[in-house]
Chain A
Amino acid sequence: MEADTGPHDSGADFRSGARACLPALPTLFFIFAGFGVAAREGGVPAEAALLMTALVYAAPAQYAMLDAAGAGASALSAVMVGVTANLRFFVMSLTLRGMFRHAPRRATARWAHFVAATPFLLTFFRSRREKPGDLFAFYRGVSVVMIPPIFLGTVAGWWAGGGLPPALAFGGTLFMPVYFSLLIASDFKGGREAAAVIAGFLLTPPLETLAPGWGLLGAGLVTGGALAVRER
């Protein structure tokens, strides 16, 4: 998790991040296309749906806000639902901060908006290499490549209104989880890290069912806390 302080080519690290993100792009497109469809069905104008994607930049929270509004929540309640669904970003930023220690604070503040699951995980796994290079450049490469499919997906979903072939949409949802699983497998170190992976995998679905929007963060914090305490 430490940033590499040795000489490195930031341009090459930026391009490396962009390349690493390519397999995740179809899933991002389909996830945000799904949001576009749901937004249209929920009576959200196209411009407002795009604004949500641009400013919130997190499909799960955007879905949660649509659900809340559909259930009759006020605008303020919908905002609260969206923000609490995004609490995991605090932990992600805290982790990334340790990797970007040598990056200018103003620059990290500008790019903080793009902290999300995909750039976080790809940068996290990159940081575990023997020579991770400039992780901030890598993160920016990942983040830039993600932007077009996210906005195109939102627009396409809103306009198509659910007209995608079901098998294609189904296959599209698998790119990201399978890709992340392969990254975990390629970086597998066993021991307590294996326990963290297994616990996160098993705990998250039931906790999400019990407390929608909190399960992922809850499973992560409980697992991380328990294993860090045992580390002593």
Chain B
Amino acid sequence: MSGAQWAAVAVGAGLGTYLLRITPFLLGPGVEMPRRIRDFLVYTSLAIAAGIVAKALTAPGEAFSIADTAIRLAALGMALGLFAWRRNILLSLMTAVVMAAAIKAAIG
């Protein structure tokens, strides 16, 4: 595709995506959500949150690799364990990331 075609793709996909994003906000302010819909959205949101984590740990934009996934899962396990012990998100996060990068650098 040429640069102009790529620009057209960006505009088309951007418009379509914006419609998806904005449509729920255009519902009238008086439209109340029933309890069952709210429950559905809470469960769906939590499942999507966990799904984003699972996707990012298994193959974030690349081919699946058992070794890389094992390193990521080990880092996640360390972060959760450290968080359970110290209740400190930043410490747990940084420790896990540094550990994963160090293992990756060591094994290549």
A residues near B, CB below 8 A? 1, 23, 31, 34-35, 38, 43-45, 47-49, 51-52, 54-61, 63, 65, 69, 75-76, 78-79, 82-83, 86-98, 100-101, 105, 108-109, 112-113, 115, 117, 120-121, 124, 166-168, 170-186, 192-193, 196-205, 208, 215-217, 219-221, 223-225, 227-228, 231-232
Contacts and interface: CB of A to CB of B under 8 A. Distances in A.
A171 B93 contact: no
Given A48-B10, A98-B41, A113-B18, A178 B93 contact: yes
Given A167-B105, A197-B46, A52 B92 contact: no
Interface centre among A121, A192, A196, by most chain B C-beta atoms within 10 angstroms, is: A196
A224 B25 contact: no
A6 B16 CA distance: 36
Interface of A, helix, strand, loop or mixed by DSSP: helix
B63 to A, nearest CB: 12
A47 B16 contact: no
B17 A186 contact: no
A63 B61 contact: yes
B70 interface: no
Nearest to B57: A177
Nearest to A35: B61
B4 to A, nearest CB: 8
Interface in B1-53: 1, 3, 5-18, 20-27, 29, 33, 36-53
